[in-house]
Amino acid sequence: MDAFYAAVEIRSRPELRGRPVVVGGGPERGVVLSASYEARAFGVRSAMPSARAHRLCPQAVFLRPDFTTYAEVSRAVMAVFRSVTPLVQPLSLDEAFLDVSGALRRLGTTPLGVAASIREEVAASQGITCSVGVASTMFVAKLASRVAKPDGVHLVPADGVRAFLDPLPVGALWGVGAKTEEVLGRHGISTVADVAAAGPSTLRRAVGEAHAAHLLALAHGIDERRVDPHGREKSAGAEETFDRDLVDPALRRRELLRLADRTARMLRQRGVRARTVALKVRFDDFTTITRARTLPAPTDLARDLHAVAVELHDALGEVPPVRLLGVRGEGLVDADRAPEQIVLGEPEHGWSDAERAADQARSRFGVAAVRPASLLGDPDPQRARSPSEAGDPARGRHRQHPDACRAGSRPEPNG
């Protein structure tokens, strides 16, 4: 999807069309989750600190994220994909791989025909745009989708893969981050063509045997992976950057409850449970640490996630002021296959029933309808204060969100 979060916001507020729009933290703190193309013209990018985005584009409208709406639009978009083929592998709320080889025969069309029909249906039904990369492998299709942006299609024919890949920087290859790119550069390797021409021995000296074989295959356009419609994200969670650093441990535990509640709802919405609970803490000097603990049995309950997160937090002892907290569920398993932990003396209807009943109430009356008692009095239970929130002063939405409040999401990788 093109600038997905920003596009959804602009869709419902047409007066923002043509203006630079940033979804994420406010001008002072947080991280950019999404930026309209008007904002990108000033150099604003996803995952950029909001303060820097504000310096680059002070006239931008900063909005906090609305993950509930983004999730609804995402489900509708994925339904469009699945109307074409059942072989859909979502990567995030705004991106997916589709295997359309069977659909071509069934629909009697071409890859470009499928791409055109998908884009038309998404635009007509959701009022937003998407860009499509078409290729014979997942890796090349992913790169082609970047070239297609915004609001376009790019086809890489099977006999044109090397011509497409060769000029690209080596950083375009999966698995090449900044450090690996630097190492390869010292060996005179700066483009994908250089990787293909380098030979195994040079690459092994630079990055090791396993990584060398991986990069060499990608440089030649070889990707054996297949679209997996049953593939799941490996984790789900929420994190939040605060308007003011938190010094009081009691306040931090309270925020952990909010994040655990948000994370648990995501797990239940996806029909999964977490084997491991991870805590993320960023201090006022931007030092960031993570701690994790594996549970006796997988869970999708806020009560369990919060208990472990608090234990991990308290084990840190005295710490500097905290800028960001995050809670994640990892090692996800299907809820209907996960073993349930039996607790002696627990009533027939316990916490699981209570939290699911709360989900039903929220679906009918909004997120603020039901929440833990210790969070009552907070006027905005969804206030994201880091990379995803920021607001529109004209609409009273100028707040900051959690560093990607990974309320089901993360900064758009491609958008």
**Cα angle 44-50-56, degrees, rounded to a multiple of 5:** 45
Tell me what pLDDT residue 412 has.
60
Distance from C-alpha of 33 to C-alpha of 313, rounded to nearest angstrom: 26
Residue at 227 is within a domain: no
Digit-coded pLDDT (tens) for 139-168: 999 999 999 999 999 999 999 999 999 999
More confident residue, 146 or 387: 146
Confidence of residue 240 (pLDDT cuts 50, 70, 90): confident
* pLDDT at 382 exceeding the cut of 60: no
* CATH code at position 194: 1.10.150.20
Q: Which residue ranges are tagged as binding site for Mg(2+)? A: 94
Q: Are residues 173 and 156 in the same domain?
A: no
The count of domains in the chain is 4
In a domain, 5, yes or no: yes
For residues 324-350, average pLDDT: 70
Annotated binding site: 94
Comparing 10-14, 72-76, 265-269, which segment has the lowest mean pLDDT? Answer: 265-269
Whether 241 and 314 share a structural domain: yes
Domain boundary among 160, 179, 198: 160
Predicted pLDDT of residue 160: 96
Domain containing 17 equals 1-66+382-415
Residues labelled catalytic: 95
- pLDDT computed for residue 177 by the predictor: 84
Same domain, 103 and 205: no
**Which band of pLDDT confidence, cut at 50, 70 and 90, is reported for residue 334?**
confident
Q: Are residues 316 and 240 in the same domain?
A: yes
Q: Identify the weakest region by mean pLDDT among 25-29, 76-80, 186-190, 275-279.
A: 25-29
Q: Please tell me the predicted confidence (pLDDT) of residue 232.
A: 65
Same domain, 123 and 27: no
In a domain, 22, yes or no: yes
136 with 28, same domain: the answer is no
Choose the weakest-confidence range: 51-65, 175-189, 357-371: 357-371
Same domain, 266 and 360: yes
Range of weakest confidence among 25-34, 47-56, 246-255, 403-412: 403-412
* Single pTM value for the model: 0.66
CATH of the domain at 242: 3.30.1490.100
End-to-end CA distance of the chain: 6
- Please check whether residues 56 and 187 belong to one and the same domain: no
Q: What percent of the chain has pLDDT over 70?
A: 79
335 shares a domain with 240: yes
**Cross-strand partners of 273:** 333
Q: Is residue 83 part of a domain?
A: yes
Q: Is residue 322 part of a domain?
A: yes
The domain that holds 144 is classified in CATH as 3.30.70.270
Task: Give per-residue pLDDT as tens, 51-66.
Answer: 899 999 999 999 988 8
- Output the six-digit token pair for 155: 């086809």
* Residue 309 pLDDT class (50, 70, 90 cuts): very high
Residues 377-392 have a mean pLDDT of: 39
Residues 200 and 259 in one domain: no
- Residue 229 covered by a domain: no
Q: Which two tokens stand for residue 57?
A: 């584009």
Q: Which of 72-81, 176-185, 345-354 has the highest mean pLDDT?
A: 72-81
User: Do residue 259 and residue 297 come from a single domain?
Assistant: yes
Same domain membership, residue 74 and residue 48: no
Radius of gyration of the chain measured on its C-alpha atoms: 23
Mean pLDDT for 114-138 is: 96
Buried b (16+ CB within 10 A) or exposed e, 294-324: ebeebbbbbbbbbbbbbebbeeeeeeeebbb
Residue 230 is assigned to a structural domain of this protein: no
Task: Identify the DSSP state of 318.
Answer: S
- Candidate from 84-93, 194-203, 294-303, 353-362 with smallest mean pLDDT: 353-362
